[in-house]
Structure 1
């Protein structure tokens, strides 16, 4: 093991939280909530209307939302299969590379990427699994003081198993946050990993753009490091937020939040064990110190 990496290794998650009581079955949130994109389409103008067929074999039913990459639509195939069509309108080549390297990833905790296609007009679409369940961001809005521990356990277990799978395949997600996590039929699914990057290519000269929401960004991102430890840090922030209803570092400006990531320690007092120790290690400023035992079992 590389001692400089904050990796998903050690005791299994089940062993770590085995004694956490199952208070009640995790709630699925609002049924039928379209949560495949962070911003809901209220009064927004989208490129394609309901009933249009911008990609052969697929009919758009409605717009779902818009993100930093472009637009997302709910559509059906000619065979009747529900899908999400992600129209890439920005950073096309970066997105294309990320999607292509992730297309062969198959894991129940990842939103499946089916295909990448370009129409005759040059529009590029990612064809993805459609998820109708709520995002963790939506669930957190319903629980301003934090989730019941049984629900925390469900979300954390699925998140860790999905991230461990990505890391096993040399992929760093780089943008883990509640808006990119979904619950579908009781299964946690990670989305928006098209921004992911193969570790072997994660340190291009001069590459230092910010790619994560500032509340979930590890300190080393400020120096352009996009490696496994930044995902572990984000998991720690998400876990803290699930337990308390708030992020560990907040501020009125992005700069203030980023400075707290670099210099401040999280208030661990509100956290129950065993999560207090997990969060403390995940949010260590020095990645060398943050080997945390939250991995799925490698049986």
Structure 2
């Protein structure tokens, strides 16, 4: 894996000016800004070339820690997109060692914005390590050995049998689309055959679904073919069936036997392949290949089962060998089913472990966040309640144990003539108790921090004193004066103004509304149930014991305000953001 983790990354944006190299670990391309980690999983490493309308890359799968192949459609025509989707659909539905494996989420769209908005269809599939038969043929200019070609033909027919059973035509069989896995493959050895490795059919870009009814109707089909290999009905755009794949396979096997491109073997007069005089092969095998490449569809083998039976007879020398072939076929099928079962169990187990691990991690993170939120909120409630009590005591001392109370009363008398009588000095001095409680509450909440506030001590303290003083004035205007019913409105004004001054970084109005209404509604419920005693009822010469009820009231008000700020910060505001409200 070390050679992968030390590699550079390749940008797959077809319009990127400098796609390579990109530093490993980058999330986005330094040149065009395109994503470099696709689906947060696949990292493009290097281009493998192009095929049809697609660019092909090697990618590193961070999830499975393996190399895979990525096909990126760079042609934007509707037909190319349709064929690309068709290939993805076909490969996703197949689970056979002779076909590249594609996971259910292997097909996806990558959105790009630079230099222009673009959607790139992408398909990730299993990487087949090995050579194509076209590459192998270069080592045999006079043609490959018959035993090798016979083995490849047998394996190819087995693959076609699986495809045709699922009503799928490949439509592009040729030497470059048949690969041999390296012998280091993890597949069972029985799948690799006696004369070579496991054969794999690749490039399903031209694959399509078919039905027997459509084949009989002879309706038209998309004109898609490979010159030299495709049958006449496919070349002219007629409807094709399974025999089209047999025709292309037969021509491919003849090329592998002779080393000659099929059109070079055609008779100029009849168009038939003149190849049997160029190579010494089993006559029965040659007859089968000639039947597969007949111009007339009706003269070719009807299905893959017929070809398999003829191949079995060709390889049959004695009854014992026939039994051996029969047993081998059974073992082939059993091994294939076992391989698929093991792959399914492994994939299911891996997904289960991944889901369980991810779920457990999410739960632990959620518990940790919940405990942290509770700790921060409780700490704020403790400091706010403590600050409110201390502020109330200081305000009471200033109001009734110093001359400041009388002077404040005189100032209010002069500014609000007629609202209070000269005998209400004790009552008016009460505003200092409220101001002190507001200042202490603001100071305690600011010291506690939390809720992403900017901790503006002076501003919060001043606004706390002013807001609570304004709440006292509202309480005096209530009818009857200083009644508990007036406390609800007083709390709303006081808490709302204090919350706005805390320097919260966003959603200040939301925090202020929830904190003020939540606090006020709980006191309103206590009043409604008639369980809240009269809070403010100082005598003409207030004593310290009379401070108990106001101190408890302001402490509860501060504690509830901190509680509702915590609820807003950790639950309500994140919920609003999740719903899209900014």
* 1:219 corresponds to 2:223: no
The change in CA–CA distance for 1:148 and 1:176 in structure 2 (over 3 A counts) is same
Give the alignment partner of residue 229 of structure 1, picking from 243, 248, 256. Answer: 243
Show CA shifts across 1:128-169 (max 9, x none): 110120001100111111111232123212211111111111
Distance in 2 (CA, whole Å) between partners of 1:85 and 1:46 is: 18
**Residue of structure 2 equivalent to 1:290:** 300
Matches within 5 A, 1:116-155: 116-121=107-112, 122-155=119-152
**Residue of structure 1 equivalent to 2:62:** 78
- Contact 1:154-1:188 at 8 Å conserved across structures: no
Q: Which has the larger radius of gyration?
A: 2
Tell me how far 1:208 sits from its aligned partner: 4.3
Distance in 2 (CA, whole Å) between partners of 1:196 and 1:245 is: 27
Query: Which has the larger helix fraction?
Result: 2
Tell me how far 1:46 sits from its aligned partner: 8.8
Question: Under a length normalisation based on structure 2, what TM-score does the superposition of the two structures give?
Answer: 0.39
Give the alignment partner of residue 291 of structure 2, picking from 274, 281, 286. Answer: 281
- Contact 2:43-2:62 at 8 Å conserved across structures: yes
Query: Secondary structure of 2:49's partner?
Result: strand
Distance in 1 (CA, whole Å) between partners of 2:226 and 2:111 is: 34
Matches within 5 A, 1:178-217: 178-184=175-181, 185=183, 186-200=197-211, 207-209=221-223, 211-217=224-230
Tell me how far 1:269 sits from its aligned partner: 2.4
Matches within 5 A, 1:96-115: 96-114=85-103, 115=106
Query: Secondary structure of 2:251's partner?
Result: helix
Greater alpha carbon shift after TM alignment, 283-292 vs 198-207? 198-207
Greater alpha carbon shift after TM alignment, 148-157 vs 166-175? 148-157
- Contact 2:231-2:248 at 8 Å conserved across structures: yes
Question: Under a length normalisation based on structure 1, what TM-score does the superposition of the two structures give?
Answer: 0.74
* 1:240 corresponds to 2:254: yes
The change in CA–CA distance for 1:233 and 1:189 in structure 2 (over 3 A counts) is same
Query: CA RMSD for the aligned pairs?
Result: 2.7
Greater alpha carbon shift after TM alignment, 152-161 vs 50-59? 50-59
**Residue of structure 2 equivalent to 1:9:** none
Distance in 2 (CA, whole Å) between partners of 1:241 and 1:179 is: 12
Query: Secondary structure of 1:134's partner?
Result: strand
Distance in 2 (CA, whole Å) between partners of 1:46 and 1:147 is: 43
- Contact 2:91-2:100 at 8 Å conserved across structures: no
**Residue of structure 2 equivalent to 1:87:** 72
* 1:157 corresponds to 2:148: no
Query: Which has the larger strand fraction?
Result: 1
Q: What residue ranges of structure 1 are gaps of 5+ in the alignment?
A: 1-44, 252-256
**Residue of structure 1 equivalent to 2:349:** none
Distance in 1 (CA, whole Å) between partners of 2:159 and 2:108 is: 25
**Residue of structure 2 equivalent to 1:55:** 38
Query: Secondary structure of 1:123's partner?
Result: strand
- Contact 2:301-2:307 at 8 Å conserved across structures: no
Q: What residue ranges of structure 2 are gaps of 5+ in the alignment?
A: 1-13, 23-28, 30-35, 113-118, 184-196, 310-325, 331-582
Give the alignment partner of residue 170 of structure 1, picking from 147, 152, 167. Answer: 167
Distance in 1 (CA, whole Å) between partners of 2:272 and 2:74 is: 39
Give the alignment partner of residue 264 of structure 1, picking from 271, 279, 282. Answer: 271
Query: Secondary structure of 1:112's partner?
Result: coil
- Contact 2:218-2:238 at 8 Å conserved across structures: no
The change in CA–CA distance for 1:46 and 1:161 in structure 2 (over 3 A counts) is farther
Distance in 2 (CA, whole Å) between partners of 1:106 and 1:295 is: 21
Equivalenced residues, count: 247
